[in-house]
Structure 1
Amino acid sequence: MISRIRPVAIAVTVTEDSLNVVLKDGGTLRLPLRLFPKLWVGTPEQRCNFRISASGTALRWDQLAEVISVSELMRDAERRHRDERLSSQVPADFPWDPTPALLSGTQPKLALRSIDGRFVVGLTAEERWVRWDMCEDLAQQLVAKTRQDAAKHPQHSHEVTLNRMQRAIEGKKWTARVETDWLMERLRSLLGW
């Protein structure tokens, strides 16, 4: 959670690839320099020519016409930490973008959204985690249902039983096609089939 106390910078270092801000409370923010286009393209001398505002709440690079809020840096660092934590819980094989945008016309287009001042293509880490959690929960619930169906129809092979489950899921339209494919593989794994 974001602290109600405004973070105050007491020292800053800029390396070739990162912006490092030491906070008054003892914390340090380390962010990739590529997130700051003006600093990224600036010379090493321009990057080192900055000042911390008297209140410690803003960083200023006058030569590069760049002002960065320490509070925004803190929010960005917290968002990145949350996204990394959520992403680490989702299996690598779970789809990133189950519903790619379809844009008509002859010119190439890039479909994106603006979320918290950032442009996002596809799902955010949080949206992907929610989709995975739903698919994982559904797969867990379907284990018993699939076993019941297999016991009710012993003449069916495991593959036929799984196909019956897949058709039922597709009929409900709970998941996108790539998510259904992942869910069926997960179900197969949980069943040991």
Structure 2
Amino acid sequence: MEDDSLNVFLKDGGTLRIPLRRFSKLWVATPEQRCDFRISASGTVLRWGQLDEDISVRDLMRDAERRHRDERLTACVSPDFPWDPTPALLSGTQPKIAGRWIDGRLIVGLTAEERWVRWDMCEDLAQQLIKKTLQDAAKFPMHSHDVTLKRMRRGIERKGWLARLETDWLMERLRALLAW
């Protein structure tokens, strides 16, 4: 165990390194208390008796798989794509941010998977709009590229498919694909 992380060495040679701040009891414990743990007979649970803390290796592995998947999905998404086009705010005398419990974690905004789905939809739409935008430009040659893109934007906004930030991104992406 290091000062800032819990390292779990697996039978298959793999290692899980988890920040201690994810485990409040371990985070505030002394180094001696952190070192005083037992591994269950099955090897599936880590137990700190003094701290009354049990950590399931299966849960740690599931969290690691989710983080790995989230990192892969995030790497696929354009870095300039908005993270949260529709922040969830609740009304009242004091502002509140809405969150959701997903896999034992409080999530505010989009998950990596939800963001990837939104980006994939916007990227696909941008690709499909290339032909439509070029057709509109040919039909109205007196319009500048900016006017043609504004016409495309109005059409997208009428559909109500995207949040404003996503529409902004889509139009910039379309401009780039057309080299306008």
Q: Deviation per CA, 1:139-180, whole angstroms, max 9, x where unpaired?
A: 011011101100010000000000000000001111111000
How much does 1:107 deviate? 1.6
TM-score by length of structure 2 reads: 0.97
Residues in 2 aligned to 1:61 and 1:26: alpha-carbon distance in whole angstroms: 24
Q: Which residue of 2 aligns with 1:32?
A: 19
Q: Give the ranges of 4+ consecutive aligned residues of structure 1 lying more than 3 Å apart after TM superposition.
A: none
Matched residues, percent identical?
Answer: 78
Equivalent of 2:34, from 47, 60, 69?
47
Please provide the CA RMSD for this pair.
0.9
Equivalent of 1:103, from 63, 73, 90?
90
How many residue pairs end up in the alignment? 180
Residues in 2 aligned to 1:155 and 1:108: alpha-carbon distance in whole angstroms: 49
Q: Which residue of 2 aligns with 1:8?
A: none
Residues in 2 aligned to 1:24 and 1:126: alpha-carbon distance in whole angstroms: 30
Residues in 2 aligned to 1:69 and 1:46: alpha-carbon distance in whole angstroms: 18
Q: Which residue of 1 aligns with 2:171?
A: 184
Structure 1 portions without partners, runs of 5+: 1-13
Residues in 2 aligned to 1:148 and 1:43: alpha-carbon distance in whole angstroms: 69
Equivalent of 1:70, from 52, 57, 63?
57
Amino acid at match of 1:128: R
How much does 1:19 deviate? 1.0
Residues in 2 aligned to 1:26 and 1:101: alpha-carbon distance in whole angstroms: 42
Q: Deviation per CA, 1:85-127, whole angstroms, max 9, x where unpaired?
A: 1111112211111111131111231210000111000000000
Equivalent of 2:112, from 125, 129, 148?
125
Amino acid at match of 2:87: P
Residues in 2 aligned to 1:122 and 1:146: alpha-carbon distance in whole angstroms: 32
Amino acid at match of 1:141: Q
Structure 2 portions without partners, runs of 5+: none
SS in 2 for 1:67: strand
Amino acid at match of 1:146: T
